[in-house]
Each structure stands twice: as structure tokens, then as C-alpha cells.
Amino acid sequence: MPGRLIALASLKGGCGKSTLAFNLAAGLARREKAGLVDADPQGAVLHWMDWSADRSDDEALPEVCAIGDDPLDTLSKMARRFNRVIVDCPPSLDMDLTGRILEKVDVVLIPILPSPLDLWAGASTVEAVRQARERNPRLRAWLVLNQVEPASALSRAMSQALASLDIPTLGCMVRRRAAFRTAAVEGVSVYQLGARGREAAREMDQVLEEVLRT
Ligand SMILES: Nc1ncnc2c1ncn2[C@@H]1O[C@H](COP(=O)(O)OP(=O)(O)OP(=O)(O)O)[C@@H](O)[C@H]1O
Ligand SMILES: [Mg+2]
């Protein structure tokens, strides 16, 4: 089945890997058996899940595990157990681990903020994907615009710069929304915020649909 392992990765820190990993995995868990692998040494997602587990609502949550000492083995085991598995890659500096993960996964989503500085970082992540494809030629990759301000449409320069990268950009984008931060603070996914999280949850569903349909 295509799209079994889906990584969130970028050489740029703080672009939304963990936020999107957790919320996309929560969206998947509502549809099917979904797992989430935390490859961040700070274990952001694992902390998040600890909080979530204490809550008493019946929201289906993904099962989470740490990447551990043998990343490829962990990913293989998770792929056998779940229909789909999301992998939250480490912050920028741990390129070695991110590179190894990219050689194993089916899809990589690269969150990118709509600013010129982030585009530069995006370009170097594109290079990491190119290298991973030497050993994993079927790796599919998309850039995902994150934290887009509602008022500012994407500038023409930004659209042109994105188009010049070798990796396509998802048609749907994720806006900067208080719900993503609120959910993190409350230790839940945006799906569990009710009306406060509705728009954010809809965006997660759109990302999932676009990625899973192709
Ligand atoms: N769409 C969004 N709207 C509002 N806030 C967001 C959004 N996406 C991410 N954030 C916030 O931006 C910050 C960085 O996000 P996050 O921790 O997910 O990035 P990261 O890429 O995992 O960072 P690191 O490289 O340190 O692992 C967090 O405070 C998060 O709540
Ligand atoms: Mg993170």
C-alpha cells in the first residue's frame, strides 16, 4: 500500500514538523490504525501523548513510540503493525538520523514557512531528499506551506521561488492558527478542541487527502 510511512522532515528547526506530525497522525487515527514515531531526541511528541493519554474523551489516538537505538528496525516494525505511520524527524542538526529515516520512508512532507529565509533552508532539505533518493528511489516528497498568515496571500516572488525547487508544493496550505498552539498547550490534537479547532482540523484532513490520493 503506498504511503505507509510518512515522515515530517526539514533541516530548518521550528518549521512545524512536530505540530504537523502529531495532528496528521491524530487525523489518520480517526480513519484507520495509525502509528506515530518520535525521532526527536527531545521527544516532543511523546510528551504530548502522555498528556493526551490522561484525558478521558474517546478520541481515537495514534499509538506512539520513540525511534530508539535501531531506527530502521523500529520503522519496519511499525510499518508491519499499522496501516500508516507518521514519523516526526529530529530538529535540523541531527541530519544523520533524518537521512537514514528518509532512506526508509515512502513519503516525506517538508514544512516550510512562507519567508525567504525558510526557502533557503527548504532548498537544502531538497538536496537531502535528492541524496536519500539514491538509495530510496521511490521516495515521494512535498513541501507543505505552514504558518501562512490569512491576510497575506503568497507573494509572487515566493510562488516563483517555490516553483523553482525540485519538489512540488502541496496545493493546500496550513495557516497560522491559535488552535495549533492551544492544542499543544492543552496536550491534545486540534481534533479534540471542538469548535475552536475546526478549521485547523479541516486543514489537516485536506493535507491527508492530498497526500493519500496521489
Ligand atoms: N500552523 C501553525 N499555527 C500556529 N502555530 C504553529 C503552527 N505550526 C507550528 N506552530 C508553532 O510553532 C512552534 C514550532 O513548531 P514545532 O515544534 O512543531 O516545530 P518543529 O519543526 O518540530 O521544531 P524542532 O525543529 O525544534 O523540532 C510551536 O510553538 C508550534 O506550536
Ligand atoms: Mg519537533
- The structural domains of the chain, with segments of one domain joined by +, span 5-213
Grid cell 498552539 — which residue? 181
Query: What number does the ligand 1 atom closest to the CA of 13 have?
Result: 25
Residue 180 corresponds to which cell in the numbers above?
A: 495549533
Query: What number does the ligand 1 atom closest to the CA of 147 have?
Result: 1
> 175: which DSSP letter?
B
Q: Identify the sign of the CA torsion 182, 188, 189, 193.
A: negative
C-alpha 7/C-alpha 17 separation (Å) is 9
pLDDT at position 95: 75
pLDDT at position 53: 63
pLDDT at position 187: 87
pLDDT beneath 70: ranges in the chain: 1-3, 50-58, 93-94, 151-153
pLDDT at position 204: 98
Tell me which residue of 197, 188, 199 sits closest to 60, measured CA to CA: 188
Q: How far is the CA of 113 from the centre of ligand 2 (A)?
A: 14
Indicate whether residue 203 lines ligand 1 (CB < 6 A): no
User: Per the CATH hierarchy, to which homologous superfamily does domain 5-213 belong?
Assistant: P-loop containing nucleotide triphosphate hydrolases (3.40.50.300)
Q: DSSP readout, 115-160?
A: SHHHHHHHHHHHHHHHHHHHH-TT-EEEEEE-SB-SSSPPPHHHHH
